[in-house]
């Protein structure tokens, strides 16, 4: 401790060991009240304030240096590089801004942080020391990088009657993930397609109030009504802690059958123009253009479809025509904003993800398409469904068990 302030009266400030004065602890500007520093501040120098002056500030010709002591619990303390203070300094210079180099923030740790004022030289034994502030650096996402099990739907199927009776649907998140803490949140992603999400979460749970016990997230019933005509709804989730670390991997997918009410059909059915050239209305090996390049779904104009209306097309594949064995992986949702000028003759959607959506439709399979019309974010109507048969068996195919199917890379057996 400083030789010049030993024995000073406690009226001049808090006392350290042996009765000497201790300077107020530094303030970590961006730390939360409990000392946790959010992850967004780990990528630049840590901003600090020395809140109050000490007894003898640097005057003209009097050098003083600040050295911060970075004491990670369980490790030996480390000093930051000394910083020469300006002189002279007065009480008007406080709170005085300082920084800890970003290199100190690279690892998760609990740190007891203090600083020393060295008189004359950076290594002078004549020092004043501050009180301690404890902070936490957390770079570890909850879940520990493990594969997260799927969420749990409360019932299967989710019906309209259930949604009416339960305006908040309790989804359960498996509780045993690594690194769980109070304040963790669950970003959840809902979709009518079994593909990894690419956008923002549908909703984020409230912070967890406990680090143990079952986890339930109340999902508004309206989330399940966003997918009119969908046969399933899929859910992925991630985990995020108070620091802002988020699990890099999505959970395994959860799926549930969906049986929600649809508005009455009041628009014309969509069409599959390629099938109209086949005598039986099939999409086959002879389809032009070939189905392995894309499948067209055409929406005719209608007096009640206006410029700016959102057309949302849904395509569903079935193992057996027309609507037997729906495949939850053969689902596509496409959107288009109607323009009364450019769409005066109608609009053609194209299903282009043919490997996922068309190739699995092999023999006597089916596809279904319908669309909804939204105005101002509200669904105002829908079309009836159009079903189309798919059959990729070539005319010269031998009898089962090894039929030959047509595809872009040539005809041949497929598993």
Q: How far apart are CA 340 and CA 333, in angstroms?
A: 22
Q: Under a CB-based contact definition with an 8 Å cutoff, are residues 211 and 182 in contact?
A: yes
φ/ψ of residue 163, rounded to 5: -65, -35
pLDDT of residue 10: 36
Mean pLDDT, the chain, rounded, equals 92
Phi and psi (nearest 5°) for 392? -100, 10
pLDDT digits (tens, 9 = 90+) for 53-100: 999 999 998 999 999 999 999 999 999 999 999 999 999 999 999 999
Question: What gap in Å lies between CA 239 and CA 259, rounded to an integer?
Answer: 29
Does residue 4 register a pLDDT over 70? no
Report residue 21's pLDDT band, with 50, 70 and 90 as the boundaries.
low
Q: How confident is the model at residue 414 (pLDDT cuts 50, 70, 90)?
A: confident
Q: Are 20 and 131 in contact (CB under 8 A)?
A: no
CA dist 36 and 139 (Å) reads 11
pLDDT of 19 higher than 90? no
pLDDT tens, 219-268? 999 999 999 999 999 999 999 999 999 999 999 999 999 999 888 899 99
pLDDT of residue 411: 84
- Asked if the model's pLDDT at residue 3 lies above 50, the reply is no
Residue 16 has pLDDT above 90, yes or no: no
pTM, entire model: 0.84
pLDDT at position 17: 42
Give the pLDDT confidence of 358-367 residue by residue, as tens digits. Answer: 999 999 999 9
- Write down the pLDDT at residue 9: 33
Distance, in Å, from the CA atom of 410 to the CA atom of 396, rounded to the nearest integer, reads: 13
Run of H or E including 319: strand 310-320
DSSP states along 153-172: -SSSSEEHHHHHH-SEEEEE
Radius of gyration of the chain (CA): 33
Burial (CB count <10 Å: 0-12, 13-18, 19+), residue 361: buried
The domains of the chain, with CATH numbers, are: 10-137 (2.60.40), 158-259 (2.60.40), 265-413 (2.60.40)
Q: What is the pLDDT of residue 165?
A: 97
For 280, phi then psi, to 5°, come to -110, 10
pLDDT tens-digit series, residues 107-127: 999 999 999 999 999 999 989
Longest dimension (CA), the chain: 105
């Amino acid at each position: 401790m400083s030789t010049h302030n030993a024995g000073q009266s406690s009226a001049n400030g808090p006392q350290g060991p042996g009765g000497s004065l201790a300077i107020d602890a530094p303030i970590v500007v961006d730390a939360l009240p409990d000392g946790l520093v959010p992850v967004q501040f780990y990528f630049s120098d840590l901003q600090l304030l020395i809140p109050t002056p000490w007894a003898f500030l640097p005057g003209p010709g009097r050098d003083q240096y600040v050295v911060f002591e970075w004491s990670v619990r369980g490790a030996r303390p480390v000093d930051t590089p000394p910083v020469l203070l300006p002189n002279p300094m007065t009480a008007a210079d406080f709170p005085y801004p300082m920084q800890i180099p970003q290199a100190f923030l690279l690892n998760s740790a609990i740190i007891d942080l203090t600083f020393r004022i060295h008189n004359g030289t950076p290594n002078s034994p004549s020092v004043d020391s501050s009180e301690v502030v404890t902070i936490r650096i957390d770079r570890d996402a909850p879940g520990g990088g493990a594969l997260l099990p799927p969420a749990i739907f409360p019932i299967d199927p989710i019906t309209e009657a259930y949604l009416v009776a339960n305006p908040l649907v309790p989804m359960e998140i498996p509780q045993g993930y690594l690194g769980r803490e109070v304040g963790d949140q669950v970003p959840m992603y809902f979709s009518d397609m079994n593909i990894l999400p690419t956008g923002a979460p549908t909703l984020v749970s409230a912070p967890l109030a406990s680090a143990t016990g079952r986890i339930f997230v109340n999902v508004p019933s309206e989330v399940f009504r966003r997918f009119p005509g969908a046969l399933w709804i899929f859910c992925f989730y991630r985990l995020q802690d108070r620091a802002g670390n988020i699990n890099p991997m999505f959970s395994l997918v959860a799926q549930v059958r969906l049986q929600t009410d649809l508005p009455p059909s009041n628009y014309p059915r969509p069409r599959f123009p390629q099938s109209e050239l086949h005598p039986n209305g099939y999409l086959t090996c002879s389809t032009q253009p070939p189905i392995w390049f894309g499948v067209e779904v055409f929406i005719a104009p209608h007096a009640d479809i206006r410029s700016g209306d959102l057309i949302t097309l849904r395509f569903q594949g079935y193992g057996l025509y027309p609507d037997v064995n729906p495949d939850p992986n053969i689902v596509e949702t496409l959107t288009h904003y109607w323009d009364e000028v450019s769409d005066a003759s109608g609009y053609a959607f194209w299903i282009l993800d043919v490997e996922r959506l068309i190739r699995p439709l092999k023999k006597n399979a089916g596809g279904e398409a319908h669309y909804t019309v939204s105005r101002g974010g509200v669904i105002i109507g829908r079309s009836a469904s159009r079903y189309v048969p798919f059959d990729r068996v070539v005319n010269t195919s031998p009898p089962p068990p090894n039929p030959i199917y047509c595809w872009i890379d040539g005809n041949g057996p497929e598993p």
